[in-house]
């Protein structure tokens, strides 16, 4: 069963330098029916103006990853990490016992468009860590590329949770399937374009909760970029 979450139903915030859409409740957007799904707590679709960004701020006990769609995002943290994240890069920061970081638009002339996603960890108080990996368009074209997993399978980044994240690019007759074991939940987010998911059409910014399905099929993409989250069978995140 697929339950659609339309892009137009998301929370929205416009701070001038930052325009953001919130799939789930976040900051000043509160929706009692949208408090995350399984261990997925946040999907923020952010556009940051040139030279602007989020000053240093702390986190703990959260798995936070950024997925850049356009432009470049500059990251710094109290672990000593300094990096620039571009399209194709996946950045995963495990906040653990505590870390502070900043995220700024790397360009003084162009905007940056990225997704910031939070997954609740299975353990509290773990050692903070930072990971970053590049996944090329060729790796994602017409297929679902594993980008995050509990054990780092196939070069994916390692998350402290029973969760797997796939990224795919689809156009024309390209199609891919994901077989699911019993009793798994799935969340699908269409970052760009449009695509059919098990026969239902999803547009840019749309999402879908998936329950009681043994296979996910993505097809008939129109310049589509999609994230698929394979998750534990629970309705809402629970902090460790």
d(CA 7, CA 215): 24
Q: Looking at the domain assignment, is residue 107 inside a domain? A: yes
For residue 30, give its domain range.
2-231
d(CA 27, CA 221): 33
Rounded to whole angstroms, what are the CA distances from 200 to 55, 116, 139, 203, 216? 40, 25, 25, 10, 11
The total of structural domains in the chain comes to 1
What sections of 40-111 are H helices per DSSP?
A: none
Q: Looking at the domain assignment, is residue 226 inside a domain? A: yes
CATH of the domain at 218: 2.60.120.10
Give the Cα-Cα-Cα angle 19, 130, 80 (nearest 5 degrees). 95
Q: Looking at the domain assignment, is residue 237 inside a domain? A: no
Q: Looking at the domain assignment, is residue 163 inside a domain? A: yes
Digitized pLDDT (tens) for each residue of the chain, 240 residues in all = 899 999 999 999 999 999 999 999 999 999 999 999 999 999 999 999 998 888 788 889 999 999 999 999 988 888 888 889 999 999 999 999 998 877 878 889 999 999 999 999 999 999 999 999 999 999 999 999 999 999 999 999 999 999 999 999 999 999 999 999 889 999 999 999 999 999 999 999 999 999 999 999 999 999 999 999 999 999 999 999
32: left (phi over 0), alpha (psi -120 to 50) or beta: alpha
């Amino acid at each position: 069963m697929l339950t659609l979450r339309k892009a137009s139903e998301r929370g929205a915030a416009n701070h001038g330098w930052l325009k953001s859409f919130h799939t789930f409740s976040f900051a000043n957007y509160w929706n009692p029916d949208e408090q995350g799904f399984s261990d997925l707590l946040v999907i923020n679709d952010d556009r940051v103006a040139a030279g602007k960004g989020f000053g240093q701020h702390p986190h703990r006990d959260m798995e936070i990853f950024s997925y850049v769609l356009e432009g470049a995002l500059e990251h710094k943290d109290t672990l000593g990490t300094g990096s620039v994240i571009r399209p194709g890069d996946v950045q995963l920061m495990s906040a653990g016992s505590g870390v502070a970081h900043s995220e700024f638009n790397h360009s003084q002339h162009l905007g940056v468009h990225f997704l910031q996603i939070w997954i609740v960890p299975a353990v509290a108080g773990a050692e903070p860590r930072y990971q970053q990996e590049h996944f090329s368009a060729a790796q994602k074209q017409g297929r679902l590329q594993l980008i995050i997993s509990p054990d780092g399978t196939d070069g994916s980044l390692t998350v402290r949770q029973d969760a797997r994240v796939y990224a795919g690019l689809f156009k024309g007759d390209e199609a891919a399937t994901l077989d699911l074991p019993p009793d798994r939940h799935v969340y699908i987010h269409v970052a760009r374009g449009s695509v059919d998911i098990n026969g239902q059409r999803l547009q840019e910014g749309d999402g879908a909760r998936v329950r009681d399905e043994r296979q996910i099929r993505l097809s008939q993409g129109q310049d589509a970029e999609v994230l698929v989250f394979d998750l534990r069978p629970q309705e809402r995140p629970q902090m460790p």
